Structure 1
Amino acid sequence: MKRLAISSLIAATLGVASTAQAQSSVTLYGMIDEAVAHYSNVGHASLVALQGGDYSGNQWGLKGTEDLGGGLKAIFNLQNGFNINTGTLSQGGREFGKMAWVGLASDSLGSIRLGRQYDPTVDLIQPLTPDRYSPAFSTPGDADNNDNSFRVDNSIKYTSPTYGGLQYELMYGLGGVAGNISSQETSSVAALYTHGGLSLAAGYVFAKNDGAAGLGTADQTQNNSVTPLFGNTPFVGSRLISQAAAQYVIGPFTANVRYSNARWKPYANYAAFNQTETFNIGGTSFAYQLSPAVLLNIGYNYTRSSGASSATYQTVAAGTEYSLSVRTTLYAIGAYSHAHGTTFSEDGNSIIAAGGTVGDLESSSSSPNQLVLMLGITTKF
């Protein structure tokens, strides 16, 4: 009788453990990307280098859910960014620089997340743009955050359920400044509507870096000479970025178009960068799934800056992806950029000639043109 009781207890315990395991999970995941890249001109010379993250960012992370019952779940995601060629941390040396958040999700009410995370325009609009194929297809200097150069600290984000194809997100990053609730804040709103093969999205993000040395809840953007300050001088001011995108998928064909307006407003006294610099960006791309393993894509980006400085950047990019498996892909990308006009020096104190710039991959060219060729591999786990 005692043996029967003990056997029943063991069986019951195992059953509870099995049920608990089915109700919660923790997943280790990641992506590793590496490429050989050739630049016709970086600063004043050609460059051949190993360069990770040309196709997708190098990252690993932990994410999980716990079923709390009644359609409610606890959720979290910790994602690290790293440099594959040096093994060092990215995003300013943060342990989980790409994202670090915890929250609750409801089947009927949506989700709320707290921590460091992407803003709603990155979540809902960017997937409809050419940036999905590589930063080479994105905005020079990433002046409009189309390649998600910045994340938002101390943020609260709400994601709605999908209502008849419509979903929206709201975010607010708390500046945490005593006596001034708006200082260092970030706010963002975006919405996505999908019906069949058609997807439409629009939104904005407003980031205020008005703290000491440009401190704010949003990261600095200092990629290359397209943006007003790209050296060691911090940007003190605000960025207001409005975006819209449309995509249509029919069979093996995918076409998209996008527009964004980015306004960089200085709050400090820079000699040349002394008024709001406005970037108007238009982009389009076309992709064809030649076979289950082969994808071909081509894109065009037009960027115009105006304000204290004025320049135009035109970029054409083309690429192909070959899937060796569901996890591993080989890729080849070529891009050419031509610039005309003027931009700012690194410290924002003088005007210089604008140089050709392919996305936010490397420094701008010392000439009006820049050509980039890349061969790479990416694998997921």
Structure 2
Amino acid sequence: MRRLAISCFTLTMLSTASIAQAQSSVTLYGEIDDALAYYNNVGHASLVTMQGADLATNQWGIKGKEDLGGGFQAIFNLENGFDINTGKLRQGGREFGKNAWVGLSSTTLGTITIGRQLDPTVDLVQPFTADGYGPAFTTPGDADNNDNTFRVDNSIKYTSPTYGGLQYELMYGLGGVAGNISSQELSSAAASYTNGGLGLAVGYIFAKNDGPGGLGTADQTQNNSVTPLFGSVAFVGSRLITHVAAQYAIGLFTVNVRYSNAQWKPYTSFAAFNRTETFNTGATSLDYQVTSALAVNVGYTYTRSSGASSATYNTVAAGTEYSLSKRTTVYAIGGYSHAHGTTFSADGNSVVAAGGSVGDLESSSSTPNQVAFMMGITHKF
């Protein structure tokens, strides 16, 4: 009996040591953001409204990892997006619409993840742009996904280790259509390089929403009147988007520039939106870290659309953030947009005058000009 007791004790200790060695962790996290917003023109009238997700997204999530030994880890992430002012789910009502993936990570071989996730350009190119200062600093209508309007379903993504400041990502989204492997697919790749204060990045996305009702591995983009079919009519076609960005930080200043080309090709012809619409965007911004708690930033974005309709959008934006603590920030963001030319009606069947649209904020102006201003608070946990 004594020997049996010692053996059981020994086995228990060995088991406990094994569990402790295979370290694992699960983290609950999130962000809550809300603001009071003013628009000078939305549908022929001014608008004052509560508006979330201006500096940070409203989300909560669970992420975890398990040490498998030999430099390998099992990892996962489940992330929910919600509307703070109504409590409703976002991302089409999905429970975990922002991220839902599982994978394996190696310190020497890189990381493979599968599920619903962000594309490589969002991971590697977006950090070198002004999008982090708020949606007023991004492309009107988010025609190039600079503000990560869409995620990718049914996707496999590989992220390389960092080699002397260089890192790359590859992604393929499987359409899952029997007999047609290319239908509803997505492919994307991006690479970034950092060296001190310098950051460079380039990437592309090719997404086909050619399934019934515009189904595809990539979500639809219908933010405001800048993009074709911004209403209830689904976009059926493909989007080919290319990004290039550069950023340089020196002392308290950070400056960045970017360029994107987005080609929206319809597979179903409408009376007006009957051929490829191309969006060329150039943008620059400057951030000044006044103190450890206070930052101010300014930016300019120029977008030109061409195809069956043609318009230019000039947008200037300015913002300031003040950190009350490591987790709580108050902010103010203002933007002005001037549009010239034509865009499509919501159903794509007619060409109408382009309206001012500050970034990818959901409400466009009924005139060429729009002013937007918001004051809000963000808390992270």
Shift of 1:12: 2.3
Separation (CA, whole Å) in 2 of partners of 1:248 and 1:327: 26
1:304, CA displacement in angstroms?
0.3
Q: Please give the residue correspondences for 1:332-371 in structure 2 after superposition, counting only pairs within 5 Å.
A: 332-371=332-371
Q: CA offset at residue 251 of structure 1? A: 1.3
Map of 1:194 onto structure 2: 194
Question: 1:84 maps to which residue?
Answer: 84
Contact kept, 8 Å, 1:24 with 1:64, in 2: the verdict is yes
> Corresponding residue for 1:176?
176
Query: Partner of 1:41: helix, strand, or coil?
Result: coil
Distance in 1, matches of 2:229 and 2:311, equals: 15
- Displacement of 1:123: 0.3
Taking the aligned partners of 1:32 and 1:19, their CA distance within structure 2 comes to 34
- Match of residue 284 from structure 1: 284
Which amino acid in 2 is paired with 1:163? Y
Compared CA separation, residues 27 and 342, structure 1 to 2 (3 A): same
Do the aligned partners of residues 7 and 68 (structure 1) sit closer, same or farther apart at CA in structure 2, a change above 3 Å counting? closer
Letter in 2 for 1:59: Q
> Cα offset for 1:5?
4.6
- The whole-number CA distance in structure 2 between the counterparts of 1:72 and 1:298 is 42
CA drift at 1:360 = 1.4
| Aligned twin of 1:69 | 69
Q: Report how far residue 44 of structure 1 moved.
A: 1.6
In structure 2, the partner of 1:309 is 309
- The one-letter code matched in structure 2 to 1:221 is T
Asked whether the equivalents of residues 68 and 74 of structure 1 are also in contact (C-alpha less than 8 Å), the reply is yes
SS at match of 2:312: strand
List, as ranges, runs of 4+ consecutive aligned residues in structure 1 with deviation greater than 3 Å: 1-11
Deviation at 1:15, TM superposition (A): 4.6
Q: Is the 8 A contact 1:184 1:207 kept in 2?
A: yes
Question: Which 5+ residue runs of structure 2 have no aligned equivalent?
Answer: none
Which residue identity lines up with residue 20 of structure 2 in the other structure?
T
Shift of 1:312: 0.4
Q: 1:43 deviation in Å?
A: 1.8
CA distance in 2, matches of 1:363, 1:221: 14
Partner AA of 2:17 in structure 1? V
> Counterparts of 2:380 and 2:337 in 1: how far apart (Å)?
30
Structural RMSD (CA): 1.7
Amino acid across the alignment from 1:92: G
Residues 327, 380 of structure 2: 8 Å contact kept: yes
1:23 is aligned to 23
CA distance in 2, matches of 1:341, 1:356: 11
Distance in 2 between residues matched to 1:59 and 1:66, nearest whole Å: 24
Contact 1:42 1:362 in 2 (8 A): no
1:267 counterpart = 2:267:
yes
Q: How does 1:22-171 map to 2 (within 5 A)?
A: 23-171=23-171
Q: Does 1:227 align with 2:227?
A: yes
The structure-2 alpha-carbon separation of the partners of 1:10 and 1:33, relative to structure 1 and needing over 3 Å to count, comes to farther
Given the alignment of the two structures, is residue 297 of structure 1 paired with residue 294 of structure 2, yes or no?
Answer: no
How far apart in 1 are the matches of 2:147 and 2:167? 22
The Cα shift of 1:363 comes to 1.8
| Cα displacement string for residues 155-180 of structure 1 (whole angstroms, at most 9, x for unaligned residues) | 00000000111000000000011111
The DSSP-based 3-state class of the residue aligned with 1:12 is helix
Task: Say if 2:209 and 2:215, in contact at 8 Å, map to a contact too.
Answer: yes
CA shift for structure 1 position 6: 9.6
Q: Pick closer, same or farther for the CA change 1:179–1:10 going to 2, 3 Å.
A: closer
Show CA shifts across 1:136-155 (max 9, x none).
10000000000000010000
Deviation at 1:19, TM superposition (A): 1.1
Q: 1:360 & 1:180 partners in 2: Cα distance?
A: 34
- Per-residue deviation at 1:344? 0.2
Partners of 2:6 and 2:362 in 1: how far apart? Answer: 69
- 3-state SS in 2 of match to 1:92: coil
Preserved CA contact (<8 Å) 2:166 2:194: yes
CA deviation profile, 1:65-101 (whole Å, cap 9, x unmatched):
0011100110000000000011110000000000100
Query: Residue type matched to 1:210 in 2?
Result: D
Say if 2:269 and 2:275, in contact at 8 Å, map to a contact too. no
Aligned residues, how many? 380
Paired residues of 2:248 and 2:255 also in contact (CA < 8 A): yes
Aligned to 1:131, the other structure's residue is in SS state helix
1:198-217 to structure 2, matched below 5 A, reads 198-217=198-217
- 1:173-227, Cα deviation, whole Å (9 max, x unpaired): 0001111110000000000011111000001000000011111000000011100
Q: Distance in 1 between matches of 2:278 and 2:172?
A: 24
SS in 2 for 1:37: strand
Partner Cα distance (2:15, 2:377) in 1: 43
1:362 Cα offset (Å): 2.2
TM-score, structure 1 as length reference: 0.97
Q: Which residue of 1 aligns with 2:13?
A: 12
